[in-house]
């Protein structure tokens, strides 16, 4: 028995076929997953870093996030827990790290989306201070010491590429007074140096002056000389504080 479709039946059949094809083309796995979060692109050496990665898929497919290209700084890891993803940790190297993350479906075929960014791990700030020093005039300049503030990860100055040094323009022959102790020269891949100068105070030295005794004198006596010495070795000068006398150098004249 032969059959044929009327134009109306053919049109209805075409609509049904088109509807089926449309459903096939929008089935699970055909919609791309998306990154909903913006990456956290700044971190500091030795400090906690966290980027909570928020992803979605309109089809509700199961998703995974992977490191598609690039290298994470040491100490930072891509983690997954109960379908939640994050980049987190404590970076233990400074620098710029280009990263490409990929979110993709676990179904086949797996649609995906990429997220590109550069994670900048800045150096940690390290304050380097020259310690104050106090000496007495004539003393040798002591060994100049340095104090640090800002080390992370239980590190110390032995972890620096080049240790800073302290210096001063003063020496053991410098006059009493205050002198700057400067500090400089530190080198490190992971620390930015902030220098703080110290102070060297050179105090005046004590001295003992021995004054030879003077015999009693009377107006009309001849001029006489004074004698004194200092244990500092400095020269001695004389002057008349009161009385009818004058002194030139170490020679005294009695005036009427």
Sign of dihedral through CA atoms 21, 25, 26, 29?
positive
Q: Report the half-sphere exposure of 95 (CA within 13 A, side-chain side).
A: 11
Q: What is the pLDDT of residue 224?
A: 85
Asked if residue 27 has pLDDT above 50, the reply is no
124-203 fold = Immunoglobulin-like (2.60.40)
pLDDT, tens digit, 9 for 90 and up, residues 80-136: 998 899 999 999 999 999 999 999 998 888 899 999 999 999 999 999 999 999 999
38, burial (CB in 10 Å: exposed 0-12, middle 13-18, buried 19+):
exposed
State mean pLDDT over 8-17: 43
111, burial (CB in 10 Å: exposed 0-12, middle 13-18, buried 19+):
middle
Q: What is the pLDDT of residue 228?
A: 87
Asked if residue 187 has pLDDT above 80, the reply is yes
State mean pLDDT over 30-34: 84
Q: Report the half-sphere exposure of 91 (CA within 13 A, side-chain side).
A: 26
Question: With pLDDT > 90 as the criterion, what percentage of the chain qualifies?
Answer: 63
Q: What is the pLDDT of residue 233?
A: 78
- Between residues 234 and 162, the one the model is more confident about: 162
Cα 188 from Cα 161, distance rounded (Å): 5
Same fold, 31-122 and 124-203: yes
Smallest CA-to-CA distance from 53 within 87, 100, 77 is with 87
Q: What is the pLDDT of residue 66?
A: 96
31-122 fold = Immunoglobulin-like (2.60.40)
pLDDT, tens digit, 9 for 90 and up, residues 127-175: 999 999 999 998 999 999 999 999 999 999 999 999 999 999 999 999 9
Q: What is the pLDDT of residue 134?
A: 97
234, burial (CB in 10 Å: exposed 0-12, middle 13-18, buried 19+):
exposed
Two tokens at 82?
């109960």
Q: Find out whether 107 and 28 touch, Cβ atoms under 8 Å.
A: yes
- Between residues 253 and 1, the one the model is more confident about: 253
Sequence spans of domains, the chain: 31-122, 124-203, 207-256
Strand 209-211 relative to strand 228-230, pairing: antiparallel
Asked if residue 2 has pLDDT above 90, the reply is no
Q: Report the half-sphere exposure of 230 (CA within 13 A, side-chain side).
A: 10
């Amino acid at each position: 028995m032969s059959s044929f479709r009327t134009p109306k039946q053919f049109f209805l059949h075409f609509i049904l076929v088109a509807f089926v094809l449309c459903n096939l083309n929008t089935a699970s796995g055909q919609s791309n997953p998306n990154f909903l979060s913006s990456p956290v692109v700044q971190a500091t050496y030795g400090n906690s870093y966290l980027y909570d990665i928020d992803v979605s898929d309109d089809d509700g497919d199961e998703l995974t996030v992977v490191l598609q290209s690039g290298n994470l700084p040491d100490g930072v890891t891509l983690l997954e827990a109960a379908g939640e993803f994050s980049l987190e940790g404590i970076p233990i190297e400074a620098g710029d790290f280009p990263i490409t993350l990929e979110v993709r479906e676990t179904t086949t075929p797996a649609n995906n989306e990429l997220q590109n960014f550069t994670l900048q791990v800045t150096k940690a700030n390290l304050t380097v201070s020259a310690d104050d020093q106090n000496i007495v005039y004539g003393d040798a300049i002591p060994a100049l010491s340095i104090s640090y503030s800002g080390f992370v990860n239980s590190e110390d100055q032995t972890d620096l590429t080049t240790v800073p040094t302290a210096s001063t323009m003063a020496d053991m022959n410098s006059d009493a007074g205050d002198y700057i102790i400067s500090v400089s020269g530190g080198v490190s891949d992971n620390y930015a140096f902030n220098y703080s100068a110290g102070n060297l105070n050179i105090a005046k030295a004590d001295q003992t002056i021995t004054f030879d005794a003077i015999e009693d004198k009377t107006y009309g006596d001849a001029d006489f000389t004074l004698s004194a010495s200092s244990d500092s070795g400095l020269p001695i000068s004389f002057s008349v504080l009161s009385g009818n006398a004058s002194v030139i150098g170490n020679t005294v004249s009695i005036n009427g």
